[in-house]
Amino acid sequence: MRSLFSIIRQRAEKGVSMKAVVTTSLGAVLALFTATPAYAAGAEGQAVNPWVALAYLVAGVFFILALRGLSSPATSRRGNRFGMAGMLIAVVTTLVTHSVGNIWEIAIAIAIGGAVGFVIARRIAMTAMPQLVAAFHSLVGLAAVLVAAAAFLNPGSFGILDAAGNILAVSRVEMVLGAAIGAITFSGSVIAFAKLNGNMSGAPIMLPGRHIINLGTLLAIIVLTVLYAMQPVAGAGEGWIFWVVLGLAFAIGFLLIIPIGGADMPVVVSMLNSYSGWAAAAMGFTLHNTAMIVTGALVGSSGAILSYIMCRAMNRSFISVIAGGFGAEDSSGGSAAGGEQRPYKQGSADDAAFMLEQAEKVIIIPGYGMAVAQAQHALREMGDVLKEKGVEVKYAIHPVAGRMPGHMNVLLAEANVPYDEVFELEDINSEFATADVAFIIGANDVVNPAAKTDKSSPIYGMPVFDVDKAKQVFFIKRSMGGVGYAGVDNDVFYMNQTTMLLSDAKKMVEEIVKALD
């Protein structure tokens, strides 16, 4: 226990927030202890050992520590171990406290799932991380649906029956909500996966009257849930409402994600992350299980915060993302702006190598295009050569670089770029004024000054890098034809200090490395 608290203390970065964490955790502990006698007395006369409740609580605390560890890369792996330990405690406690007649069936189920999960985790490419996370979300969603359905068919073993053999009204609401949120997470994640994986076009698909359909479906789910809760008779597996709500929830998850364009996928993946948490929390309510409730709340708030961060980085409101249709409006605006040809300077790898060598400070701005071209290893090599020549090299990462929160950091880490050379937008933006070279590779919209000046631009208001303040700008781009994800022209191409390096990102960086030697 002592080491536990010392870790909490060590990881305290901001005094204020940490104090709040400690107070709230203490509050949660107190709430549990005051609640324990009621727990032991209630729930169908099942004898509940207070140690069991305590074990689940410990699992919950371990999950909190798992997330807490991620406050710095140095403590993150220990955090992950806490997460694993928490999960082990939760699973073992459950198996020990229930009379399990079919332990072999369960062991086989865990072994099958575990083997599949482990192999996928080993083999997956880091560029495919967003798809993987979306796929995992869909599994949590489906698992929640299955558990809710099992509780509906066999409420006795979940301890949610009243004396007359009806499912408790509160439990009915929790169960239906858990199933509905799970179903939305499942079908939404499947669509998000298909869009990210390229099985489905990233373009938004607009149904006529979709807002009315969506709101109607949502309303129907709420009304049916209330009706179900008020039913006088609701025995095990009785009634059609549960299944109808489930069907509607599957449909709305599908309908909600279909109209959202590829550029907004980071927000969608974060949002589905949040939903998978709320689904787990709802099932925790049904089961009166502290570990599930605590975890659900953690995951739910985590996903919600990540969605908020992503929306802020794109200067979009959450509602407008969910309502959908970013990409569709832009394609028309982009083609209209691309009518005239403006003069730009084109350079070669040798020019770039010469300027980079002379520089004192180089800031590299990688975007998803770099990952698509698989240029991250070549880029790190270039950074290494420059550092050997005494150049200060820093990497600047925009929150929406990559296709999910923090994706670019993982891609750079995979290429062995040390994390203390990688900086976030707010931390590095003031340094462009002192930088000799800004080196843009595979990024576009995140350096577009139109976001600051042009009110009619679709990306207006989005925070961007001030690359125009750097003495020299190199911009690697495949050709002048294509425009960024948001489909807008970029004034950086035509600035006096900009040299365009028109080539495949990986080939160009490799040529620069060769020219540097």
Active site residues: 445
With helix as H, strand as E and coil as C, how does 228-282 read?
HHHCCCCCCCCCCHHHHHHHHHHHHHHHHHCCCCHHHHHHHHHHHHHHHHHHHHH
**DSSP letter string, 437-455:** EEEEES--GGG-THHHH-T
Stretch that binds another protein, among 208-216, 252-260, 284-292, 468-476 (CB under 8 A): 284-292
The amino acid at residue 514 is K
Closest CB to another protein among 397 and 483?
397
Residue 88 or 203: the one with the smaller Cβ distance to another protein is 88
Among 122, 343, 479, 496, binds another protein (CB under 8 A): 122
Rg (CA), the chain: 26
Site string for another protein, 382-401 (x = CB under 8 A): ---------------x-x--
End-to-end CA distance of the chain: 55
Ramachandran sector of residue 346 (left: φ over 0; alpha: ψ -120 to 50; beta: rest): beta
129 binds another protein (CB under 8 A): yes
Residue 252 binds another protein, judged by CB under 8 A: no
In the complex, least distance from residue 60 CB atom to another protein, rounded to whole angstroms: 7
**Torsion, CA 396, CA 456, CA 452, CA 376, rounded to 10:** 10
Part of the chain binding another protein (CB under 8 A), chosen from 198-206, 244-252, 370-378, 402-410: 402-410
- Tell which residue, 35, 91, 106, has the closest CA to residue 59: 91
Query: What span, in angstroms and rounded, lies between the C-alpha atoms of 343 and 328?
Result: 29
**Of the candidates 188, 300, 324, 367, which one interacts with another protein according to CB under 8 A?**
300
246 in contact with another protein (CB under 8 A) = no
**AA letter at 386:** L
Question: Out of 125, 153, 227, 433, which residue is the one contacting another protein (CB under 8 A)?
Answer: 153
39 contacts another protein (rule: CB under 8 A): yes
User: Can you read off the two tokens belonging to residue 201?
Assistant: 């076009």
Among residues 399 and 487, whose Cβ is nearest to another protein? 399
Strand ranges of the sheet holding 422-424, from the earlier edge strand across to the other edge: 422-424, 392-397, 361-366, 437-441, 472-477, 498-502
Minimum distance between the CB of residue 64 and another protein, rounded to whole angstroms? Answer: 6
Joined tokens for residue 60: 């919950």
Q: DSSP characters for 351-376? A: HHHHHHHH-SEEEEEE-HHHHHTT-H
When the beta carbons of 266 and 324 are compared against another protein, the nearer one is 266
Residue list 358-377, contact with another protein (CB under 8 A): none
For the record, the structure tokens of 35 come out as 């609640």
- Minimum distance, C-beta of residue 421 to another protein, in the bound complex (Å): 7
Does position 125 bind another protein by CB under 8 A?
A: no
Question: How near is the Cβ of 244 to another protein at its closest, in Å?
Answer: 18
Question: According to the binding rule CB under 8 A, does residue 473 interact with another protein?
Answer: no
Q: Is 195 in the site for another protein (CB under 8 A)?
A: no
Which residue, 87 or 372, is less far from another protein as judged by CB?
Answer: 87
Q: Rule CB under 8 A: is residue 203 a binding residue for another protein?
A: no
Measured between alpha carbons, how far is 115 from 445 in angstroms, rounded to an integer? 41
Please pick, from the candidates 124, 125, 223, 226, the single residue that binds another protein as defined by CB under 8 A: 124
What single-letter amino acid sits at 143? A
Site string for another protein, 415-444 (x = CB under 8 A): -x-xxxxx-x--------------------
In the complex, least distance from residue 443 CB atom to another protein, rounded to whole angstroms: 17
In the list 253, 327, 367, 405, the residue contacting another protein (rule: CB under 8 A) is 405
| Residue 257 contacts another protein per CB under 8 A | no
- Specify the stretch interacting with another protein by CB under 8 A; choose among 139-147, 329-337, 434-442, 500-508: 139-147
Other Cβ atoms less than 10 A from the Cβ of 195: the count is 26
Which runs of consecutive H residues, i.e. helices, occur in 124-168? 129-153
CB of 103 to another protein, least distance (A): 8
Residue 388 or residue 517: which is nearer to another protein going by CB? Answer: 388
Applying CB under 8 A, which of residues 188, 324, 406, 484 lies at the interface with another protein? 406
Residue closer to another protein by CB (options 48, 450) is: 48
- Cα–Cα distance between 185 and 253 in angstroms, integer? 7
213 binds another protein (CB under 8 A): no
**Burial class, 476, CB count within 10 angstroms (exposed 0-12 / middle 13-18 / buried 19+):** buried
* Residue (151 or 513) nearer to another protein, CB: 151
User: How distant is the alpha carbon of residue 241 from its chain centre?
Assistant: 32
- CA neighbor of 104 nearest in space, from 94, 112, 144, 157: 112
- Measuring CA to CA, which residue among 220, 325, 173 is closest to residue 263? 325
The least distance separating another protein from the CB of residue 288, rounded to whole angstroms, comes to 5
Site string for another protein, 67-96 (x = CB under 8 A): xx-xxxxx-xx-xx--xx-xx--xx--xx-
Name beta bridge partners: 441: 366, 476
* 219 touches another protein (CB under 8 A): no
Residue 291 or 355 with smaller CB distance to another protein:
291
Angstrom distance (rounded) from CA 445 to CA 454? 13
Distance in Å, CB of 115 to another protein, minimum: 8
The yes or no reply on residue 192 touching another protein (CB under 8 A) is: no
Interface with another protein, residue 509, by CB under 8 A: no
Token pair in block for residue 6: 């010392």
